[in-house]
Amino acid sequence: MLRIAVLASGRGSNLQAMIDAIAVGTLDARITGVFSDNAAAPALRRAVDAGLPARALDPKSFAKRSAFDAALFGQVEASQPDVIVCAGYMRLISAPAVRERRGRLLNIHPSLLPAFKGLHTHAQALAAGVHEHGASVHFITPDLDGGPVIAQARVPVLAGDQADSLSRRVLAREHLLLLATLRLFAAGRVALLGEAIHVDGRPLATPLQLAANNDFP
């Protein structure tokens, strides 16, 4: 069974999607713990309510980012995860901590990467006037929001969309995208070999696209 550690800084709706999918049997996995840089994160409450280990570490108690990451990932690895999912984890991870976990660290980002890295992605998409927006699940590398993209969900931008309305529609697809991608991991179908993502033993030329049935074609 796939063992998932979750890093989250805020609301935790992606975490909740994982908890719910595991509960109803649509994701064959176990969450080994939920870890945060924010003791007030609603994600931690969701973890506790689901009976999961929940830990917060305060970055202000550490002199350096690398010391914080060493302490955080010490706790994360003690829970023995196969993969570590950043689900709304809003803190930069130091390059050595990323490199040590190559191929095991995943992030969900609310844009069709490489478009709109960083923050306020929905506002960025509206300002750019694109007709399509969405979300991506990618392997984390030291390059912020720049690691190899495994899968994406596309969402049309509608006339009159505001950042709020667009973000609500993207978030709904984002949850389904994360679950579909984690099912691939649970089935042992994805690996990062060198720079290339492999699915079912073959290199992936372009990211998988979530279809209307909430799975990959």
Report the DSSP pairing between strands 196-199 and 190-193: antiparallel
Phi and psi at residue 5, in whole multiples of 5°?
Answer: -100, 140
Q: What is residue 174's three-state secondary structure?
A: helix
Asked if residues 83 and 104 have their Cβ atoms less than 8 Å apart, the reply is yes
Between helix 13-24 and helix 42-49 the angle, nearest 10°, is 20
CA–CA separation, 178 vs 128, rounded Å? 25
Query: Min. distance of Cβ 200 from ligand GAR in angstroms?
Result: 26
Residue closer to ligand GAR by CB (options 117, 198) is: 117
Taking CB under 6 A as the criterion, which residues in 27-66 touch ligand GAR? 43
**Residue 110 to residues 88, 124, 176, Cα–Cα distance (Å):** 10, 11, 13
Q: What is residue 209's three-state secondary structure?
A: strand
Taking CB under 6 A as the criterion, which residues in 98-157 touch ligand GAR? 108-110
Residue closer to ligand GAR by CB (options 81, 174) is: 174
Residue closer to ligand GAR by CB (options 173, 194) is: 173
Query: Min. distance of Cβ 72 from ligand GAR in angstroms?
Result: 16
Query: Min. distance of Cβ 89 from ligand GAR in angstroms?
Result: 7
Residue closer to ligand GAR by CB (options 33, 110) is: 110
- Contact status: 174 vs ligand GAR (CB under 6 A): yes
- Contact status: 88 vs ligand GAR (CB under 6 A): yes
Query: Min. distance of Cβ 203 from ligand GAR in angstroms?
Result: 26
Angle at 110 between CA 193 and CA 165, to 5 degrees: 160
Q: How many CB atoms lie within 10 A of CB 120?
A: 13
Q: Is 109 a catalytic residue?
A: yes
Which residues, 6 or more positions from 58, have their beta carbon under 8 angstroms from its beta carbon? 37, 39
Query: Min. distance of Cβ 27 from ligand GAR in angstroms?
Result: 15
Among 7, 12, 37, 166, binds ligand GAR (CB under 6 A): 12
Residue closer to ligand GAR by CB (options 11, 198) is: 11
- Contacting positions for ligand GAR (CB under 6 A): 8, 10-14, 43, 87-88, 108-110, 171, 174
Give the residue numbers annotated as catalytic, written as ranges: 109
